[in-house]
Every structure is written in structure tokens, then in C-alpha cells.
Structure 1
Amino acid sequence: MRGSYGLMHYWAKIGLLLLMLTMLGCNTLKKVDDGELLLTKNSIYTDEDKIKDEDIRSLISQKPNSSVLGYPLRLNLYNLAKENPDSSFTDWLHRKEKREKRLNNFLSEKQVNRLRESFVVKGASEFLKRIGEPPSIIDTALTQKTVDRLKAYYNSKGYFNNTGHYTIVQGKRKKRAEIEYRIQLEQPFMLDTIIKNITSPELDSIYNVAASESFVKDGDQFDLAKFNSERERLTALFRNSGVYNFQESSINYDILRDTSKVANDQLMDVQLNVQKPRSIGDSISNVSPYRIHRFEKINIYADYQINGNADSLKSINYEDYTIFYHDELKYKPKALTDAIFFEKDSVYRDLDRIRSYRQITNLNTFRYPNMEFIPDTTQARLISNIYLSPRPKFSLNLDFDITHSNIQRIGTAFSAGVITRNVFGGAETLSINARGSVGLLSDASLSDGEFTSELGGDINITFPRIWLPFSTENVIPYYMLPQSRFLVGTNFQKNIGLDRQSFNSVLSFNWSPDTRLKHNIELLNVEFVRNVNPDNFFNEYRNTYSRLDEVADQFETNPDFASFYDENVDPGQDDDDDLELLIPDGTTAFTDAVLQPGFDIDNDDLATVRSIEERRQRLTENNLIFASNYTFTKNSKLDINDNDFYQFRFKLESAGNLLSLLEDVVPYNKNDNDQLLVFGVPFTQYLKTELDYIKHWELADSKVLAFRSFFGMAVPYGNSESVPFVRSYFAGGSNDNRAWNAYELGPGSTNNINDFNEANLKIALNLEYRFPIAGDVKGAFFADAGNIWNVFDNEDNPDAIFDNFSSLADLALGTGMGLRYDFTYFVFRLDMGFKTYNPAEEWSKRWFRDYNLKNAVFNIGINYPF
């Protein structure tokens, strides 16, 4: 990756140079004519109080040019563009006699005309105009429009007699001015009495039951927004109480007072009107009032075809539902009826209609359904027809990628998947996936060969229900979109590290009480990891090998150790006579000799060798993880455009407890470390918990402040002294602390002692300010804090252990900036992080030691990190 980082440094310098040239070479007033004023600021005052509310400020029709840290970047990019590049090119062409003739003879007249339309002549200016921003010249028409908007807004808040005006305040700098908007509110109107006028007796009774929940109440200040909220509340109330055809337009309010006259009390009466429905071509008086409807019949068309022959359909009756189908019913009736929340003789509820849409879509077997409601107005009964159009029985997915990493110079990855729907007739979905990759190693010393390969696959079946031997419908009803998933998969890695093979199996359940909440239980999560080539450990983990070899250098003259060394020259040392330990025979023999009781070695070196050997055994041993976990997620985000939301995730996982409880029933064998063995492998036992909180605040002008906090801890016990590598934590990388590369940070105040540093306790805090720059290009400033530590395990290095709150001094801090390009479907991200506070340094050198471009860390990512 060194070449990639060098290239990133190069382009970073080029980018900074271009930005400096833009800042130095542009005149902000270049395209502001005499007699015009550039708008620099807007201020709003109501009765001398300055308004900072962004909702109110969004009513301003004309705003100043956008800026990045106070600098009008987009305006100056626009100013770089030529107004008439065609004319400029023509002037240049005719500026010297015979220039046009010589150019025509050299390129041809046709090529010269093409040059006129080229990017160099014309396209560059068009591009700068497109990503730039024209100067915001004060327009009094737009200014008066803003005054009218502000007056209308405060009218909606009960200030019916407000007045407004604007003032243009010229600044000390030429051709620049601010605008002050001033609104005199006067006394607001208050609601005295709410009078209701509901034409339908049934609607009147429904309203009376829930009247206390009204947004519009006696004694409140008039607020049009509350009236709109009340209309929405009443519409939902009526439609969820049997009035399937209720229209929001049937609700209106009459203000029973002349608001243009000022009085001492400023009280007003309001009449709520709920009228009859209006049909096309009919007057309200000729239409029957709204009524509460119940279901008479519910029909389900299981394989609906738009151009199909309805006369040829067959039907069956199942629990008050009638199911129509062609030739043969391919679905179990219960699978269809469980997705429909209407019942015969039940009152219509709009909530049931929405839940039916969600559950049918959740089956992943049908396209978006169509629902029809046919009323019998004389009896207030409904016939519901639900048309289900099946998706294809089989789907095939293919994917192919080119990859690059610090292990592979170049690689190709491919995947293929087959999806089979309605496998057992109950809307189950079966997917079979295969994946693989082939790559060229960046360093042949990592393996016996030059190529790396990976092959894997899984079988995944999803049930649209909780798959247990007892019913859970009373606790988890079907409107919560319950799903069960059973997965079996395996993966084989060749010539990467230790040539790992893994097998995993998962049985999980998930459900969503509403769109914001989700529960997930993995009842069984079994993973078996086998390292095929453990002798390759020191070839893969070079930092660990270098530490061991450094200790071994002092014993290379010992004749008893002569067979441990290779006489190759160590290029990292000045002394050409230094020898290297042989891998694996020399490293194994050396550690065995050093760890024998009574061996003459320095205590610090002995601790280093012992730590290295424990890490080698831990990373080369096979792992059996038999875990269960529960995850709760809450997300307040309304849609993809919502930039003001929070997300909370809690996870609790336990591994090995079930196997430990079975010890009395099925006696296990034990190894030399007194660990219980299952199939000859010691099973892992630990307790793990995670808390993850994300909060976004939407600021002015599409700016967002994003915050994330994470805490995770995995405590080994019983049959384990440490947490498996695959379930431990690491720090650094594009989605973590961006001033460090992945696995480089920690643990604690240690300084990158291993090739892949990991631990069982993690704290991460991230703060990012995101802002638009030009068009789809966005920028960010960020601060990432966090680290990993060891706790309650067999680690004995005090610098890596979290002792108490004083260990929080080892929280690393990285700050930096980033660029993003929004491709609509995804965001490409480039971040540059600087080590601001490095706990691996001495106390006096921790702050800003590596805060320079040379030591910056560049991260490329897809989408935002949080």
C-alpha cells in the first residue's frame, strides 16, 4: 500500500495547491456591476428580538453565497469562468495576423472549429459555472417576497395584525450589504371556545371518545400548524374506526371573529366542521354521511393475472377467507391469511390495511399487492379483494469485482446466488450462494506460492414466522413481520496467513413492532475455525517475528542454538553477521528452550517471549464458538432525506454456556490446560455486550453534525482465558479512528507491537461536521477518539490493560478532513486523518507529534461511516 499512500499524498498536495490558487487569484466582486450590491448577511427581528430559528430563516427568498469556513468557494469558482469563451477565443485567434491561417493549415479548419467547442475553450467555463454559484445580488422583489412570507408565517401563529418591512444596510466594504427584516407582531389571538359541527352521528361519537387528545384546545394561542395536525389526527382516527372512505378534505374550520379588528381580549371562537363526503359531480347535500363499515367478505387472489380469465378460477374457503387460484393452489392457505389483518365482521381499520401491505411485501414472494374495497352503502358492509401477483419462482444473482488490498496486489472476486421462493408452500425463501476470489500476493514470502484463493458458500432459508415448536403469535403477532432464518455456510482460504477453514451455522429470529424498532435473537450461532497451516504464523505476523528474532540475536553464538538460525543477512540491521531464526523449526525450538524453568534470560525478554508464544498459540489454535445473542435496535429516521435522527443499538452475547451445562450429562475430555474439549477442540466461553449510539443534528444550509459513541466488552471465563480473534475488537480504519490504519491502534499505550492488534474492550467516540462544497461534492471535518484494551483475560502487559478510569488517558485522538462525492445511490469518501493525541508516545510527546501531511493517514470508503 506504500505506493497508494504516496499517490494520495501527491494528489492531496495538488488539491491544496489548486485551492490556494483559487483563493489567491479570485476577486469576489468580479461579476458584481456598479450599482449592484452583493448580499452578505440576512437578519430577522421580531419586536427587536433576533430570530435564529432555522425553520423561520428558511422562508428567506434570497440568501448569501455559500461558504466553506467563511470563504465563498463556489462564488469564486463561478468567477473563474469566462462569460463569453467563444468571443475570447475569436479575439485570440484574430489578435495576430495570419494566426488563424497558420492554425487552419496545421489542424484544418474543421479541427479549429472543434477546438472552439472543446473543454479547454468552452467546456471548462461551463463546468465552473455548473459547480460554482453566481453572485447573490440583492433583488428588492425577492426581498419584499420574503417580507410577505414572514408576515404570512406569523399570521399562521395568531399574529393577524403584524406588520413588516426590510432595510438594506450597506457595509464598510464596497458593493456589499446586509438585509434586516423587521416584523412587529402585535398581540396574538387566543382560542376561546371550540365549537363542533359533525354531520355524522357515528363520527360524532368517535370524536367524543378521543376529544381529550386534540391538538386544538381552549385557551391556546392560535397556531395553524396545530390545526393541520388535528386534521391529520382526526383523519387517522376515523379511518381506523371503520370509516374506510373518510377524506381529510371533509374537515375544515371557521374562525368566528373578524381578525382584522383589534380588541382588548383578542379572543376568538373556532368551529370544527366535519362534513359529508363529496363525490364527483355531486353536491354535499346529496351524499350520505360517513358510516362505520364492517367486512362482509374477504377474497384473496393468490396468483392474480391482469389479463387472466376470472371464470376459470378455482376457490377454497379457509377461516372466513375465500382464496381464488388457477389450476393448483401453490401456497398453504394459512401462509396467505396470516399476512392479511382484515377479519370477517371486524371494523375496517386503515392500520390493518397498512400492516397487510407490509407483511405481504415482507414475504418476498409477491410483488406489491393491490387491495380493493367494494362497499354496500345500505348496510355499511365491505367486500375486500386482495390481488397477489407472484414474483418469479427462481432468481439468479451474479457479481464480479476487481479487488486490491495490503495482501493482494490485484485480485478478482466473484459470487453467484440462486433464490427459490415458496419452497415448502408457506412463502419460505431459500437462497444458495457461492463466492470465491483469486489474487496475486503482494509479497511471496507470505506463502509457499504467489497466488491466494478463497472459496465459500452458504445455504440460507427464511421463514415468515417464528419457527418454534410452540405458538408465539400472542407475543409476536404477524404485523410485527416475524422471520426465522437458518443458515449453514463454509469458507476456505488458501495461501492467506494460516490457510483458514471455517464452518458456521445460525438459527435466528427477528421482528419489528413498528418501523423504528427491531429485535433479533440468534438462538444458535455456531462457528468452527480451523487453521490449516499454523506453521506459517511468523511469515504472516512479521512484527511479532521481528520482536522474537531481536531477543534471539543475543543467543546466536550459543552452539546449542546453532540449528535454530539461518545465515541469511537481515536487511533491517547494520550488522551483517546477525542471523535470523528459521521458520517454523527455529522459532518453535527457541521459544521452547527459553520457556524452560531456570533458563538464563533477562526478565523483560522472558516476558516478551512468553507473550509472543501465548499469542501464537491463541491465533493458531482452532476455535469452536457456540453462542447465543440478542440485539435491540431503535432508529428514529423517517426516510432517506431525514438528517435529524438518532439510532441506538444494544447487543448481549453469551458463548459456551450451553456446552458447559452439558458437562454433567456428557463428560468431556480435557487438554493439558484443563480445558474441556468438544470434538477435540476447546470450546470458547465468554460474555459480550455492546452499546452503540448515533445522533445527527441538521443545521442550516444542508449542514449536518453527526456523533457516534460505541462501547464493547467481551469477558472470557470458564473454559477460556481469552476471546477468539474473530470475536475481539480492533481500532483504526476508515469507519473507526481515521488517523490510524486498521489494527494499528492500541491496545492501550502500546505502540503497534503486533501486525494485527486486538483486544476485548473498546471505546470509540466520533464527531463529524458535514457541509456542502460544490454540487455533489461535500466536505467534512472530524474528530475520532478511542482505543482498545485488554481486561479480565490473560494479558500481562500493563500498558495494554484497562485498570481503572485513569486508563482513559490512553484514548487516542485523531482529527482531519474529508471529501465526499454523492453518486445518489452511494457516497464515495476520502478522509485524511492526523494523529492529534497518540497514547503510544511518551507523555511529553503525545500531542501533535505526527501532525503533518507526511504522517497523514488516508482512508477510502463507501458511504458515511456513521
Structure 2
Amino acid sequence: MRGSFSLLCNWAKIGLMLLMLAMTSCNTLKKVGDDELLLTKNSIYADEEKITDSDIKNLIVQKPNSSVLGYPLRLNLYNLAKENPDSSFQNWLHRKEKREKRLNNFLSKKQVTRLKESFVVSGASAFLKRIGEPPAIIDTTLAQKSVDRLEAFYSSKGYFNNSGSFQVVNSKRKKRAEVEYHVALKKPFMIDTVQKNINSVQLDSIYDKTAEQSLVKAGDQFDLAKFNLERERLTSLFRNSGVYNFQESSINYDILRDTSEVANDQLMDVQLNIQQPRSADTTAIDSEYRVHRFKKVNIYADYLIGGSLDSLKSVDYENYTIYYNNELKYRPKALTDAIFFEKDSIYRDLDRIRTYRQITNLNTFKYPNVEFIPDTTQAQLISNIYLAPRPKFSLNLDLDVTHSNIQQVGTALSATVITRNVFGGAETLNVSARTSIGLLSDASLSNETFTSEIGGDVNITFPRIWFPLNTEKIIPYYMLPQSRFLVGTNFQKNIGLDKISLNTVLSYNWSPTISVKNNVELLNVEFVRNVNPDNFYNVYQNTYRSLDDIADEFQDDPQYASFYEETESIVDPLRLSIPEGANSFAQAILDNQIAVSSDTLSIVRSIEERRDRLTENNLIFATNYTLSKNSKTDINDNDFFQYRIKLESAGNLLSLLESVVPYNKNDDDQLLVFGVPFSQYFKTEFDFIRHWEIGNSSVIAFRSFMGMAVPYGNSESIPFVRSYFAGGSNDNRAWNAYELGPGRTDNINDFNEANLKLAFNLEYRFPIAGDVKGALFADAGNIWNVFDSEDNPDAIFTGFNSLADIALGTGLGLRYDFTYFVFRLDVGFKTYNPAEEGSDRWFKGYNLRNAVFNIGINYPF
């Protein structure tokens, strides 16, 4: 396997060298004519001040060819394509007198004709043109169009009398030039007064209440963008104040001055006009904007498109009328709680949006259809909400093929049965089962060849806060509240120490706004039992080798012969037997039956403490709260931030109950619940992500993570499942997962973990060609032990001096965007390794042989 990978790397190097050779040998000006100029740069000056605003620069119609790190990759790919591959093939075919005849005899005349249309002859050129980019030849027509755009833009900012021009500046390099755009702004127009002309008394009254919030104010410079925002604000204001049919097109502004005249004051009066709705029938009630109230709200709980509504039964519940077919399958309150329209209340667009969101949140109905019917005699509305139910039952199946450091290859199958509206309150019940089987990577870890895992969960979701006290005033339904109760179990065989885990979660989540989410896990109980603790030294080979190296000094002493077993190795014919020999040898040293140095005693004590910790069963009784916010508006938004704050506490409730119900204790004076010491700790995390779009579809992405878990009371360390690790495809990509740290230590354990973590990632993402994108990244961070039982000074965080142990990995990556997901390949190099000494920390092993390759799906942050 290693030989195959090395061969693959060598071929990759050769392919990369050939590609670079082809690129560098390609002439950038190959397809630029003698009387043409290649555009290399655009510059914009407003009153001689250089403009750097990306929004203004995007007004330029013609842009230079894109580049990757300054190299015009797509242009040179385009230049590699032949202009007339068919003609070139014909010239080659007839260059020698008998070549076509020999080729026809060898392939047949029909196949030679097809060869002309093949990928080798014409397809390659078509592909290069498709992923490449033609040279940006300076076009004065497009330059003038850019000037017109700039003039229009600055006119929208109040510079009505501005004038623009462009200038082609030849470069010192052959056939290349820049284009400079100059705009003379002149004096801007200012708003002197804002008048109003509103043809509706009710609209006028609503407007006066919020007039101070207007974005168009006297004394401000004219800005068309503010006028558009004010139109949006007023439309939202009226539609949330009862005017259900208000149209933004009814709002316009008049400028009460001839802006073509230049004067000293450059002042202008503005008039706001709000007209009546356009209607052919001017006598109709809806021909005038009025505040509407709800006369009646109808809910159709079993709506079928095209079905008859006459045969439906109905029931009245709290000023709502619910229509259903045969039998009402839902509790009325479950339906009315999702509707934010109320009888006699005014119409609000916000209530309409909240109704759509909450009905969707029920996960019981398809996207609803909400209808508003105005009363023909009064300013009243009848609302009909049509709910089409989803299927009662559905089945999801997933099949995955996996690979890890434990499994050479694994197959996982999972099935989930979804049952909707379980108790009539739009509850959703998920019953899932999963199983997997895999081939062990290292047969020495077990007597078996295969690994297996089986598990299942029962998960029920309530579309409300399921709590003894009424929380509706604190968390109203428009915040999309949900309660989730989960019970699950999992059985592992030949994976680690063969674990059995049981977990129970009672959680609540709600969203005050679209961008903010809250989650409270009131109860998170996890019990982990290690079925095969005697397999510890087989799984944690590094730990075993450290102990066996110490034991080599005593292997010739007959009184310790029972600790050893013979091997077939010439270098190490005797080794500690697992588990009896290793456990007995370590205990003999700790009991002072074998005399060793103080340093050796410390190493053995650390090994034994780690074995006890990783083989002991865990009971985690935790509560946590998570707050997250994401400013991303849509999938195309590349300029946003998001953060997540998490607080978790474990063991406090069980500790308090000890005064009421005394617990038993073990030899270490730990309190036991069901014979297991429960974990007690406090944990906090902060995760921050920021993306900046820097033009040309390029993005700079930054991530910072800080997390710490402090054990206390009944615990001296954090459970393995709640600790931190460093390295891997979503962390520091120059190290494999669990290989980095803690601190200055050099991968001393097979799975290195600790209770303090700092991580910082910076990535520059840029397009290469088509759906292929590239990235340059720098990952920094490490893990440390703090406030726990660890006594290795190299692994402990002691203050600012420990920040010198932050590892740095740099590298590059390739991505292919499949629209729905991104396939990612990253190559990381150890740039600064704190496990080394002195100057060896920098760039030691900075080569492809020591690089770490990571494959992932979607971006790491």
C-alpha cells in the first residue's frame, strides 16, 4: 500500500511538472493581434482620487483576464487550444502522400473520419476553450459603456452634473495596456425640504407616526439608494399596519428643481407621493388603501388540490374554524398555535411570514397555501389556510463506504422510519437503526479480522416547549420552538476497547430571528462501558511500547520471567505479555517491588493513570446551552460572519443529590452512581468564522476556536468523549487527527487529547477554471492540559509562554464544486512543529514525502 502511494505521488509530481512546463511555455499574447492591446488593469479616479470600492469597480464592463496568484491560468489554457483543429488535422493527414491511405487501411476510412471529430483532435481544443478564458482585448465601445455606467452611478449619489472619460495607457510591455477612467464630480445636490402628498388619510396617519425614522432627510446629500430603501421601509410599514394590499409601486418621489441648472446653493426640494392603488373599478372598496382587520380565519386541515370543500366537516376553536375530512386528526390547539392571524386583529405581513415558517416547522404539512379574501363592503379580510398533509410514514435509507486508521474499508447501513403527528399534536417520531462492518487495518489489535457496530435511536420532536411551566410568553411560537427527546444505544466490537454506550437527551431549541438560534440540552446523559479493557495495550501501541522499553532492562532477571512472552523478532525476542504481563509489571513498579529511577517511576505512573482513565466506565450527566448566529443571507453570500458560544456543566445535580441520597465511594474517594464514578466538569467554547469577498469570486475565510473543560469535584480529568484533539481535515491539516500535541509532546499516545484547545485557520479561496477552485491555507493551534491530573510539563499550559507551542501548518488545496456539495483535497506541510527543538521547529520535513493529504466534503469552515 505504501509503495503504491509513493508511486502515485511520483506520478503526481511528474504530471505537475509537465503541466507547469506547458503553462510557462505558452505565450500569453499568442492570440492578441498586431493592432490589438491586452487589457491588464482598470483604474478609476473620481476628482483625481483613486477609487478602491469593489461595488464601483464592478461597474466596469470589460475586466482583465483572471489570474491565480498573478498567473493568467485560464488565458493560457485558452491559448493552448487550436483555432482550427480540423484544418490542422487535414494538413497533417495530407502532409505525406501515402499517410491517409495507410491510415485508412489500418483503421478504415469511416474511423479516420471519426478520428477528426474525436477528443484528441478537436475535443481537447473545445474543452480548453470551455474552461479557459479568451484574451481581454481592449474595446473602446465597452470602455465608453463603462463611462456611462460610472456617470449614472454618481448621478444617483447627487452628482447630477458629473462628466466622465476614459484613457488607454500603453504599457512598457508589448501589446499590453491599462484603461484609466476619470470622473469629474462637481458639486453634489443637497436635500432642502421633504414634502409629502399622501392621498389616503389612514396611510397619512401611519406615516406621521414614523416620520422621524425616514431615511430621506433634509440636509442630506441626494442618494438614490436611500430613496429605494425608504420605499421598502414604507411598504413594510404599511403592510404591517393593516394595509394588506399595499404596493410599492404606489410610492414615488418628485424632485422639485431642474438639476441640469448649476447654482451656488445646489439645493433641491423633494416631494413624497403615495398614490391610491391602480384599479379599473374606482368604486370598489379595494380601490383605496385602508387598514384591514380579519373577519374570519379558516383552517383546512385535509386539503387536497382539486378536491371538493363542500363535503368537509368543521369545528370552531378559539375564533378559528377548522375544516376536516371524516375525522380531525390533529388537536385544534396544535393547528391554531401555528397561525398568527386572529379574528378582529389587523393584518400584518410579519404574521403571514411567521405563519409560513411555523407551519413548515411542524414537519407535518407541505408548504401551506394562504389565501386572503377582502370583504366587498367593509375593510375586512377572510383568511383561508390550506394545509396539505405529508405522508404519515416515510422511510430513509443510507449506505456509506468509509475508511479510517482503524478500518481498511467499512460499510455502514442506516434506516430511519419517520412517523408524523404521533399524538395528534404534529409530533414527529424517528426510529432509526444502523449497523456497520469493516476490515481491520491492523490485525494485531484483535484476534478478529472484522469490526462491527450496531446501534439505534428513538427520537421524538414536539413543535413546542415541552415543560411543566408555561413558556409561551418567554418563547412565543413565532420563534419556532421545538422540544426533542432522544434515547439511543450503540454497541461496538473490535473497535478500541469494544464500547457499549447509552445516551438520553432532552433538548429545546428556538430562533428569535432567522439568524439567531438557541439550544438548551436540559438533560444529556451518556453512559459508556468498556467491554474489553484488557485490550488497552493492543489498541494504544505507543503507550505499550513506552512500557515495554522500560521492561527490556529487567527481561533477563528470572524473578520477572512471568511478565514476558517470546516473540519471533530477532531484535526484541521477549516482550511484556498483554494484558497480564504489562499490568503486573506496571503495578510492581508502583508498589516499589521493582526499583527504578524517579523519572521512570513518573513515566509508569503516567501510563497507569492513562490506562485507568481510558478503561474506566463513564457516566456523564450534563446540561448545556448553545447560542449561535449566522449573518449569511443566502447561499451566494460570501461576505458574512457566524459565531457559536457553548456552556456546559456536568455532574452538579448528582453531586447535590449526594446530601439526600448518600452514594458509595471507590478507593479514590469518588462518588459512585450505579457503581460508576460520575464525571464533574465545566466546559466552555467559542467558535468564530468570518468570510470576506475580495472580488473575482475570491474569498478570504478566517476561523478561531477556543475551548476549555475544567474537571473538579468528583473528577480529576475530562472523559475521553468530551476532550479535545488536534489535527485532521477540518483542523490543522498538516497533522493527522489526534497526532498533534498536547503542548510540546511528540505524538506520545496513539490518540492524543487534552482539555484546552486553541485553533486559528486562515484560507484564501480562488477560482481556477470552471468548477475547479483552489486554496492556500495556514492552520495554527494546539491542545494542552490544564487544571487536571496531568503532570508532564511539556503537555501543560502554564501561561503566555505556552503560546510558543502553537503549531503552524500551511498548504494548498483543490476543490471541485458539484453545486450541492464540494469535494476537497488538501495538502498540509508542517511549517512550525513545537515538538522539535530550536531551529528544527521551522520547516523541518517541509516536503511532499512528509506532507499530510486530507480528503473532505465541503469547506472546513
- Smaller-chain TM-score range? over 0.9
Residue matched to 1:789? 784
Find out whether 1:114 has 2:114 as its counterpart: yes
CA distance in 2, matches of 1:8, 1:533: 39
Q: Which letter maps to 2:704?
A: S
1:268 CA displacement: 0.3
Residue matched to 1:76? 76
1:55 CA displacement: 0.2
Q: Equivalent residue of 2:547, what SS?
A: helix
Moved more, 9-18 or 830-839: 9-18
Answer whether contact 1:480 1:514 (CA < 8 A) is retained. Answer: yes
Residue matched to 1:299? 298
Q: Equivalent residue of 2:484, what SS?
A: strand
Find out whether 1:682 has 2:677 as its counterpart: yes
CA distance in 1, matches of 2:7, 2:613: 37
Residue matched to 2:708? 713
CA distance in 2, matches of 1:145, 1:194: 34
Answer whether contact 1:447 1:497 (CA < 8 A) is retained. Answer: no
Q: Which letter maps to 1:245?
A: N
Could you list the per-position Cα deviations for residues 340-365 of structure 1 after superposition, in whole angstroms to 9, with x for gaps in the alignment?
A: 00111001000000000000000000
Q: Which letter maps to 1:166?
A: F
Q: Equivalent residue of 1:359, what SS?
A: helix
Residue matched to 1:523? 522
CA distance in 1, matches of 2:166, 2:841: 54
Answer whether contact 2:285 2:379 (CA < 8 A) is retained. Answer: no
Q: Which letter maps to 2:720?
A: F
1:368 CA displacement: 0.5
Answer whether contact 1:782 1:816 (CA < 8 A) is retained. Answer: yes
Answer whether contact 1:22 1:77 (CA < 8 A) is retained. Answer: no
Answer whether contact 1:276 1:287 (CA < 8 A) is retained. Answer: no
CA distance in 1, matches of 2:500, 2:345: 56
Runs of 4+ with >4 A deviation: 1-5, 281-287
Segments of structure 2 that go 5 or more residues without pairing to the other structure are: none
Answer whether contact 2:278 2:287 (CA < 8 A) is retained. Answer: no
CA distance in 1, matches of 2:246, 2:171: 57
Match runs of 1:194-273 below 5 Å: 194-273=194-273
1:114 CA displacement: 2.0
Residue matched to 1:346? 345
Residue matched to 2:762? 767
Match runs of 1:360-375 below 5 Å: 360-375=359-374
Q: Equivalent residue of 2:416, what SS?
A: strand
Q: Equivalent residue of 2:789, what SS?
A: coil
CA distance in 2, matches of 1:45, 1:800: 56
Q: Of residues 633, 646, 663 in structure 1, which corresponds to 2:628?
A: 633
Residue matched to 1:139? 139
Find out whether 1:806 has 2:796 as its counterpart: no
Residue matched to 1:502? 501
Q: Of residues 667, 688, 693 in structure 2, which corresponds to 1:693?
A: 688
Q: Equivalent residue of 2:79, what SS?
A: helix
CA distance in 2, matches of 1:286, 1:683: 70
CA distance in 2, matches of 1:585, 1:708: 47
Structure 2 CA distance for partners of 1:493 and 1:311, relative to 1, 3 Å: same
Q: Of residues 602, 611, 616 in structure 1, which corresponds to 2:611?
A: 616
Q: Equivalent residue of 2:672, what SS?
A: strand
Residue matched to 2:477? 478
Residue matched to 1:101? 101
Q: Which letter maps to 1:585?
A: E
1:567 CA displacement: 1.8
Could you list the per-position Cα deviations for residues 26-77 of structure 1 after superposition, in whole angstroms to 9, with x for gaps in the alignment?
A: 0000011110110000000011000000000000000000001111000001
1:597 CA displacement: 3.0
Could you list the per-position Cα deviations for residues 645-674 of structure 1 after superposition, in whole angstroms to 9, with x for gaps in the alignment?
A: 111110000011111111111111111111
Q: Equivalent residue of 1:552, what SS?
A: helix
Residue matched to 2:426? 427
Could you list the per-position Cα deviations for residues 514-547 of structure 1 after superposition, in whole angstroms to 9, with x for gaps in the alignment?
A: 1011110000000011111111111111111111
Q: Which letter maps to 1:112?
A: V
CA distance in 2, matches of 1:284, 1:135: 62
Q: Which letter maps to 1:758?
A: E
Structure 2 CA distance for partners of 1:351 and 1:863, relative to 1, 3 Å: same
Match runs of 1:162-181 below 5 Å: 162-181=162-181
Match runs of 1:372-383 below 5 Å: 372-383=371-382
Could you list the per-position Cα deviations for residues 457-514 of structure 1 after superposition, in whole angstroms to 9, with x for gaps in the alignment?
A: 1010000000011210000000000000000111111111211111111000000001
Q: Which letter maps to 1:813?
A: L
Moved more, 109-118 or 165-174: 109-118
1:850 CA displacement: 1.9
CA distance in 2, matches of 1:227, 1:598: 88
CA distance in 1, matches of 2:158, 2:813: 45
CA distance in 1, matches of 2:599, 2:376: 91
CA distance in 1, matches of 2:342, 2:404: 57
Find out whether 1:442 has 2:437 as its counterpart: no
1:578 CA displacement: 4.5
1:112 CA displacement: 1.6
Q: Which letter maps to 1:94?
A: H
Match runs of 1:404-423 below 5 Å: 404-423=403-422
TM-score (norm 1): 0.98
Q: Which letter maps to 1:234?
A: L
Q: Equivalent residue of 2:765, what SS?
A: strand
CA distance in 2, matches of 1:715, 1:205: 59
Could you list the per-position Cα deviations for residues 315-349 of structure 1 after superposition, in whole angstroms to 9, with x for gaps in the alignment?
A: 00000000000000000000000000011100100
Could you list the per-position Cα deviations for residues 712-750 of structure 1 after superposition, in whole angstroms to 9, with x for gaps in the alignment?
A: 000111111100000000000110001111000000000
Answer whether contact 2:285 2:376 (CA < 8 A) is retained. Answer: no
Find out whether 1:818 has 2:813 as its counterpart: yes
Q: Of residues 654, 661, 672 in structure 1, which corresponds to 2:656?
A: 661
Q: Which letter maps to 2:671?
A: L
CA distance in 2, matches of 1:18, 1:326: 71
Residue matched to 2:845? 850
Structure 2 CA distance for partners of 1:577 and 1:205, relative to 1, 3 Å: closer
Q: Which letter maps to 2:260?
A: S
Match runs of 1:302-341 below 5 Å: 302-341=301-340
Q: Which letter maps to 1:423?
A: V
CA distance in 2, matches of 1:2, 1:828: 24
CA distance in 1, matches of 2:592, 2:391: 70
CA distance in 1, matches of 2:83, 2:496: 60
Answer whether contact 1:8 1:858 (CA < 8 A) is retained. Answer: no
CA distance in 1, matches of 2:263, 2:60: 31
Structure 2 CA distance for partners of 1:174 and 1:114, relative to 1, 3 Å: same
Residue matched to 1:63? 63
Q: Which letter maps to 1:419?
A: I
1:5 CA displacement: 5.3
**May I ask how many residue pairs the two structures share in their alignment?**
861
Q: Which letter maps to 1:560?
A: Q
1:442 CA displacement: 1.6
1:263 CA displacement: 0.4
CA distance in 1, matches of 2:540, 2:708: 25
Q: Of residues 577, 590, 595 in structure 1, which corresponds to 2:590?
A: 595
Residue matched to 2:157? 157
Structure 2 CA distance for partners of 1:99 and 1:282, relative to 1, 3 Å: farther
Q: Equivalent residue of 1:639, what SS?
A: coil
Find out whether 1:749 has 2:744 as its counterpart: yes
CA distance in 1, matches of 2:397, 2:730: 28
Answer whether contact 2:81 2:129 (CA < 8 A) is retained. Answer: yes
Segments of structure 1 that go 5 or more residues without pairing to the other structure are: none
Q: Equivalent residue of 1:795, what SS?
A: coil
CA distance in 2, matches of 1:135, 1:43: 19
CA distance in 1, matches of 2:15, 2:644: 38
Answer whether contact 2:281 2:287 (CA < 8 A) is retained. Answer: no
